[in-house]
């Protein structure tokens, strides 16, 4: 059974570093939005284009999972709803899904972000210390169910008939049938 690996963590937590290792270990396709947003738009959002790109990546991921190949989604995925939706979509493609949460303490995070900025530069975005503090407040860590390897214990958000419908609203250009 193919596995969808979800990288979960704040900037500088080590998601891309770990995603590369997982891709090698599991012969998985790794999808890292920053590696596309920067060459295409020199911006990390570009007026909502990141959501569109992620929607196409998830569609591609569903195709690849159906082919029996693992996928690593290196998105960040701060929201439990996002992760619940992806667990659900993976199940629909006949795949397993697991969240790989990488916690990082504030001081270590800042040290890594600064160290990275002084080395790579072109493959990541500049970040200020205040940005990191604000983002940490918005991050939703895995609940017990997710930490134990399952889907987050989340009901479909009110107003949505299904996780599929929620996901298509969250990620424009997503085709939940993986076409």
Residues of this chain, 115-144, that bind Mg ion according to CB under 5 A: none
Minimum CB distance to ligand ATP, residue 8 (Å): 10
Sole binder of ligand ATP in the list 28, 50, 55, 76 (CB under 6 A): 76
Closest C-alpha among 123, 124, 8 to residue 77: 8
Minimum CB distance to Mg ion, residue 134 (Å): 18
Asked whether position 33 contacts ligand ATP by CB under 6 A, the answer is no
Q: Residue 134 corresponds to which tokens in the numbers above? A: 């604000």
Closest C-alpha among 147, 169, 166, 146 to residue 157: 166
Length of the chain, in residues: 179
Selection from Mg ion, ligand ATP, none that 146 binds (CB < 5 to 8 A by kind) is none
Decide if 66 contacts 92 (C-beta within 8 A).
Answer: no
Q: Which residue is nearest to ligand ATP (CB)?
A: 14
Three-state DSSP class for 142? coil
Sole binder of ligand ATP in the list 6, 28, 30, 34 (CB under 6 A): 34
Q: What is the rounded distance in angstroms from the CA atom of residue 33 to the CA atom of residue 38? A: 9
Asked whether position 16 contacts Mg ion by CB under 5 A, the answer is yes
**Among residues 4 and 73, whose Cβ is nearest to Mg ion?**
73
Q: Residue 93 corresponds to which tokens in the numbers above? A: 């493609």
Minimum CB distance to ligand ATP, residue 53 (Å): 14
Q: Which stretch binds ligand ATP (CB under 6 A): 43-51, 109-117, 133-141, 160-168?
A: 109-117
**Among residues 129 and 162, whose Cβ is nearest to ligand ATP?**
129
Q: What is the rounded distance in angstroms from the CA atom of residue 44 to the CA atom of residue 54? A: 12
Q: What is the rounded distance in angstroms from the CA atom of residue 82 to the CA atom of residue 40? A: 25
DSSP letter at 27 equals T
Q: What is the rounded distance in angstroms from the CA atom of residue 160 to the CA atom of residue 156? A: 7
Asked whether position 17 contacts ligand ATP by CB under 6 A, the answer is yes
Contacting positions for Mg ion (CB under 5 A): 15-16
Contacting positions for ligand ATP (CB under 6 A): 9, 11-17, 34, 76, 112, 115-116, 124
């Amino acid at each position: 059974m193919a596995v969808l690996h979800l990288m979960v963590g704040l900037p500088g937590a080590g998601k891309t570093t770990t995603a590369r290792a997982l891709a090698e270990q599991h012969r998985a396709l790794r999808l890292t939005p920053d590696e596309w947003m920067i060459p295409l738009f020199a911006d990390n959002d570009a007026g909502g284009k990141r959501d569109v790109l992620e929607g196409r990546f998830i569609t591609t991921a569903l195709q690849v999972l159906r082919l029996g190949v693992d996928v690593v989604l290196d998105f960040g995925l701060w929201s439990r709803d996002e992760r619940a939706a992806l667990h659900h979509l993976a199940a629909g493609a006949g795949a397993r899904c697991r969240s790989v949460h990488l916690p990082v303490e504030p001081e270590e995070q800042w040290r890594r972000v600064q160290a990275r900025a002084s080395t790579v530069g072109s493959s990541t975005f500049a970040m200020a210390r205040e940005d990191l503090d604000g983002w940490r407040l918005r991050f939703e860590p895995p609940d017990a169910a997710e930490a134990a390897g399952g889907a987050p214990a989340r009901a479909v958000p009110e107003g949505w008939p299904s996780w599929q419908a929620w996901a298509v609203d969250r990620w424009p250009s997503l085709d939940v049938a993986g076409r």
